[in-house]
Amino acid sequence: MRGRPGLSRSLAWFLAAAVLLHFAYPLTLNGQLWALAYTLVYPLVVFLGLRVVLPPGRRLLPVAVFSAVFLTAGFWAVFHPETPLARLGLFSAIVLFQGYLILALLTFVFTYGQRHRSSHGPQLVMAAICVYLLLGGLFGALFGLMEALWPGGFENSLDPHAPVTWQELNYLSFVTLVTLGYGDMVPVGAWARSLAVCEAVAGTLFLATVIARIVGAYVSPPGPDPDDDGPTETDCPGSPGPGPPAGNG
């Protein structure tokens, strides 16, 4: 992934889709039709996410594969929510896809000062925000995987005897990421608590390191333009022109 013209617009569209995906999940509680409509957001996120991190000639196959996986697993989970295998497939796809996007975006954020000029600063900020949202979704999917494989690791303290839903785990992930913790959704298993602590630490370290990185990128002098072959005589008007060195006499 490289800074380029048009990347700011691609990042803005992807950021909007990520906000819709991670915060519009209560729509799925209004019935199966809304759950199906929400599932259609996944291919949109796949397309916009890969549009950000991949060059134009290498997008078609990954978009098609990930979209097919998300649609298949998503529709399966909507029509058969009680089937653990359907949830496992969907959560696994989310972990793999969002993990890949996080790595690609973080690489862009932390190599920004070495390869790009200051004109790409807004791209850096939007990439960091996208990573933060993707972290919440990634850990929400990891919580879902853990609950599907080993039920009972999480509990809704307001309704302890009810099964935990993926919507509640997504909510738990984001309140853990920002170390808010209302106490209504709690990890009760040892490994569930360990994963929740890991997310809280990751969220805190992300804010500390990435904010420092962004500030450093803005206050440091811009790097050389990759298309610039070096200073010219116009850039250095006082430099001597080509020719033999002047003699003493």
pLDDT of 243 = 53
**pTM of the entire predicted model:** 0.81
What count of other Cβ atoms lies within 10 Å of the Cβ of residue 167?
14
pLDDT of 61 = 80
Does 11 fall in a domain?
yes
- The enclosing H or E element of 156 equals strand 154-156
- The 10s digit of each residue's pLDDT in 70-114 is 888 888 888 887 788 888 988 998 998 999 999 989 988 888 655
Does 77 fall in a domain?
yes
The total number of structural domains in the chain stands at: 1
User: Highest mean pLDDT range out of 48-52, 158-162, 171-175, 224-228?
Assistant: 171-175
- The 10s digit of each residue's pLDDT in 200-249 is 999 999 999 988 888 777 666 555 554 444 444 444 555 555 555 555 54
Enter the tokens of residue 85.
């295998």
pLDDT of 2 = 56
Residue range of the domain that includes 215: 7-219
Are the CB atoms for 170 and 27 separated by under 8 Å?
no
* CATH number for the domain that contains residue 33: 1.10.287.70
Does 248 fall in a domain?
no
